[in-house]
Chain A
Amino acid sequence: MSRIGVFICHCGENIGATVDCGKVAETCLNIPGVVHSEDYKYMCSDPGQNLIREAIREKNLTGVVVGACSPRMHEPTFRRACAETGLNPFLCEMANLREHCSWVHEKADVTTRKAIDLTRMLIEKVKRNQPLYPIKVPVTHTALVIGGGIGGIQASLDIANAGHKVILVERDPSIGGHMAQLSETFPTLDCSQCILTPRMVEVAQHPNITLYTYSELESISGFIGNFTVEIRKKARSIDEKLCTGCGICMQKCPVKKIPSEFNAGLGNRTAIYVPFPQAVPNIPVIDKSNCTYYIRGKCKACEKFCPADAIRFDQEDEIIEADVGAVVLATGFDVVGTGFFPEYGYGNYKDVITGLQYERLASASGPTLGVIKRPSDGEIPETVVFIACAGSRDAAKGIEYCSKICCMYTAKHAMLYKHKVHNGKAYIFYMDIRAGGKMYEEFVRRAVEEDHVNYIRGRVSRIYEENGKLIVKGADTLMGHKPVEIKADLVVLATAGVANKGAEELAQKLHVSYDPYYFFAEAHPKLRPVETNTAGIFLAGACQAPKDIPETVAQASGAGSKVAALFSQSELTREPVVAVVNRTAPPVFSTCVGCFLCQPACPYQAIEKEEIKTRDGKLIKVVAKINEGLCQGCGTCVALCRSKSIDLQGFTNEQMYAQIMAS
């Protein structure tokens, strides 16, 4: 026979002013199985918790119902209180008399009756509760970081400095990401490479970090603390151990006119190349799609001249397998190209460029060595128009969100132009200026007041070429929608930031959810911003949403500490609210018929096959088995199971039906 204790909390006036708590406590005492019932002003306070602890000890309670706030608020508090007396914490339940009752109803008898009903439902449930014990899973103390931009670099360094092993995988031949392409950074105008490259070197030299560049995640299996990954190390066609990075191969390569990805198409590179001189590692890659040898079968100039004999034309991709305990996704973003804009000429005008291309023009390491020259004829532009929100915040273009970084970098672009071309005119067309951030607004004011950048609030309707000038037509909405026409030499579009190529595929591989724009989804937009819905997989940087460098670094450090916290334990403890497939005595073993309809329904890939064998190894039956490391307790399989063989611990069908019937 159950011995249930009921504790009704007034929550000050939150519940007490609307619900007659005394009456609730009194009525509950009449429910069969209830041996103790009382009310108190603040049940979560220390004296309140003491009431519970004393009652458990004195009346030897087998279950506790606390009628108070939402279990999201104080379930851990009350369960802890119960556990201190030796009662299994999963025998304590909460009836939500605040959010579900007092906050949403007027003071009335009927409200009190509802409170009684809610409590009775939980009493019926708790009578059927079973003691549950936390699940323990081991943890591999190695993290996989995917993406070697500033986000991935920061996360890797933080985890490595906490004493854990890190595997950093980067798709491109070098780490550094977009930040390596940038000229100077807002709001301080410090050189991007100057602050980034030391970190890149640190990553390469850190004893705890294994760096795989020109590599991609091939597959992943397992669960938090226990992932197994396969990494495809693409063939560089170079023996990395022998290569000294002297660069002679690049000088000798006859294919010299390939648009450089690092220079956003504004400069050229050779077929054997390192993306930029400060690349880490400083080992070239042969671009097979452009290499004469791979296309026509002859050339081998690089091999002939390589002083270290490091060229390996027959090198093949390598698959590296590793066990990791956590994954940090830091795959970054991309920007849409100028071809995305019909009204701006579909990318046909050479002097209409993206913000990223402008970064290369302004960068000391760029194709013009930092001199602002327009791409068409190399002239220094006298008038430059910058267009903010090019694609962003535009439902007609399918990108409704704000790309967030453009207001600031456009102000920076205009400022850099004015610093380099003193007599030049800089115009910025904008919708709003979103300069929230430390020293951000001041930075924009500086562009306006000190550098005399002309801000025009309005959209640009069209750009076309006329007599060697780009005619930019727009409206000035602060001047009564006056049409504006500017004859520009260079137009820079602050093109929308979008999810990186392959984001969707990667998300599906990792079972991470993503939004309609293919940005990875965080577990909770406010309270769990660096975790994904898949336990053990964390997010850093612009792969989650467009972000600037400070925000990316902050989130990367957040992800790094989450991983370090996870790795601080040798075993993981999880709430035992997981699904279980029932097991019965032979010859049935389980009512599961092995249809495995539950397998595709499970969003977490937690359902495995289990073979039931005789002692001599003969197969009797294959049944479903739920991996308690992966199961998130959503209950989808329970609802789906045709033979009712699966139950959710803590929320079994029996408990649920009892609860409903009591209402």
Chain B
Amino acid sequence: MMRLGYFPGCSLLGTAREYDESLRAISHKTGIELFEIPDWNCCGASAAHCINHDLSLALPARILALAEKEKLEEILVPCAACFNRLDVVRHELISDEKLRQRISGIIEMDFQGNIKVINIIEALSRIPSDGLKEQILKPFQYTVACYYGCLLVRPPKIVNFDRAEDPQIMDDVMKKIGADTIDWAYKVECCGAGFSVSRTDIVAKLSGKIIKDAVQRGAEAIIVACPMCHSNLDMRRSEIERLEGRKYSIPVLYITQAIGLALGISNKKLGLHRHIVPVKLPLKVKTVVEKEFVPTAKAEEE
């Protein structure tokens, strides 16, 4: 079992409830033990760091300090925005001792900087493929577009993602559960993010491009790991369709939901019914051809 501190953040209690539900649903089978940080608070998200730098540091610092108090080594943050804030703050504080002391004073807790912040893909990529293989009841044999968005992979110096401009690790996880992933150029493009509320026209334009490219390249589902990306691609679908002048039926799934489906967990438990765009994956029977060990001439010689 992988014991991880768990910081759901506000999205996973609200608009992205299905993210939380699906994560909890798959956690047991994937060997992840979630320990929710007691008395956690808002990470500050985009609001705090636009208004007050100290506040933007103090809010995540308190969450991290609480986790340290629980003697946790790692904290899993599924929301990409929360992940980004927590990891950036951790980085800022451990690289500036004076700042660390000042912020520790503000939050009235000593933040040590020992805790590591990990995102959902990182956690899932640690699951050994053999372990997962036995659990898979219905391989997720669809062609998917893995959409990373902006906050998971940037800034590259801090979050240390595999390849900032063309990340691969979500693709690798999806391949483990049987999916085909497309190579596309919109993996880390902007979905419109916070304009989801104030400027839906911009969101429609940016998210529209993402959906259009994914569909054009033959994706049957878009896989995300960020509540903001999900809401823009899913909730804003009608605006996108209006702008593009065409219908898009491609569903947008959290990576945890896709894994849940592969593990045979019910749609309800995974919260699929909560989506605006119905999750209707094409019916198809792909026969699983197990690659048998065919001894080669060389092996025979040996």
Query: Which chain A residues have a beta carbon within 8 Å of chain B's beta carbons?
Result: 342-343, 345-346, 348, 396, 462-464, 466, 471
Contact = CB atoms under 8 A, between A and B. Distances in A.
Interface string B166-209: 10000000000000000111000100000000000000000000
B185 A342 contact: no
Interface in B78-116: none
B166 A342 contact: yes
B163 interface: yes
Contact of B216 (A342, A463, A466): A466
A342 B184 contact: no
Contacts of B216: 466
A471 B185 contact: yes
A342 B164 contact: yes
B184 A464 contact: yes
Given A345-B166, A464-B184, 9 more contacts: A342-B165, A342-B166, A343-B165, A396-B156, A462-B189, A463-B185, A466-B213, A466-B216, A471-B185
Nearest to A348: B183
- Closest 10 pairs between A and B when the two form their complex, measured CB to CB: A464-B185, A342-B165, A343-B165, A342-B166, A342-B163, A462-B185, A346-B166, A342-B164, A464-B184, A466-B216
A348 B183 CA distance: 10
Contacts of A348: 183
Contacts of A463: 185
Contacts of B156: 396
Contacts of A396: 156
A396 B164 CA distance: 11
B81 to A, nearest CB: 22
A332 to B, nearest CB: 30
Interface residues of B, number: 11
A172 to B, nearest CB: 33
B168 to A, nearest CB: 10
Contacts of A343: 165-166
Contacts of B189: 462
Contacts of A462: 165, 185, 189
Contacts of A342: 163-166
Contacts of B213: 466
B213 to A, nearest CB: 8
A343 to B, nearest CB: 5
A270 B64 CA distance: 62
A244 to B, nearest CB: 42
A296 to B, nearest CB: 14
Interface of B: 156, 163-166, 183-185, 189, 213, 216
8 contacts: A342-B166, A343-B166, A396-B156, A462-B185, A462-B189, A464-B184, A464-B185, A466-B216
Contacts of B165: 342-343, 462
Contacts of A464: 184-185
A462 B185 CA distance: 8
Nearest to A473: B185
A350 to B, nearest CB: 14
Residue from B166, B183, B184, B216 having most chain A Cβ neighbours under 10 A: B166
Contacts of B184: 464
Nearest to A344: B165
Nearest to B163: A342
A396 B166 CA distance: 15
Nearest to A341: B165
Contacts of A346: 166
Contacts of B183: 348
B298 to A, nearest CB: 14
B32 to A, nearest CB: 30
A396 B184 CA distance: 23
A343 B189 CA distance: 11
A464 B145 CA distance: 15
Nearest to B165: A342
Residue from B163, B164, B165 having most chain A Cβ neighbours under 10 A: B165
A102 to B, nearest CB: 43
A471 B217 CA distance: 14
A464 B213 CA distance: 11
A115 B216 CA distance: 81
Nearest to B164: A342
B201 to A, nearest CB: 16
A343 B185 CA distance: 9
A292 B216 CA distance: 44
Nearest to B157: A396
A427 to B, nearest CB: 19
Nearest to B183: A348
A96 B189 CA distance: 62
B206 to A, nearest CB: 11
A540 B163 CA distance: 38
A612 to B, nearest CB: 57
A396 B183 CA distance: 24
Contacts of A471: 185
Nearest to B155: A396
B126 to A, nearest CB: 24
B183 to A, nearest CB: 7
Nearest to B216: A466
A295 to B, nearest CB: 15
Contacts of A466: 213, 216
Contacts of B166: 342-343, 345-346
B287 to A, nearest CB: 30
B219 to A, nearest CB: 14
B156 to A, nearest CB: 8
Nearest to B189: A462
A217 B121 CA distance: 50
A31 B166 CA distance: 76
A477 B249 CA distance: 37
A466 B213 CA distance: 9
A391 to B, nearest CB: 13
B146 to A, nearest CB: 15
A227 B185 CA distance: 56
Nearest to A343: B165
B150 to A, nearest CB: 13
B63 to A, nearest CB: 30
A575 B72 CA distance: 67
B249 to A, nearest CB: 21
A384 B8 CA distance: 49
Contacts of B185: 462-464, 471
A535 B228 CA distance: 64
Contacts of B163: 342
A352 to B, nearest CB: 13
Nearest to B167: A342
A463 B185 CA distance: 8
A478 B262 CA distance: 51
Nearest to A465: B185
A431 B184 CA distance: 27
A396 B185 CA distance: 20
B59 to A, nearest CB: 29
B15 to A, nearest CB: 29
A346 B165 CA distance: 10
Nearest to A464: B185
A560 B123 CA distance: 61
B51 to A, nearest CB: 26
A378 to B, nearest CB: 24
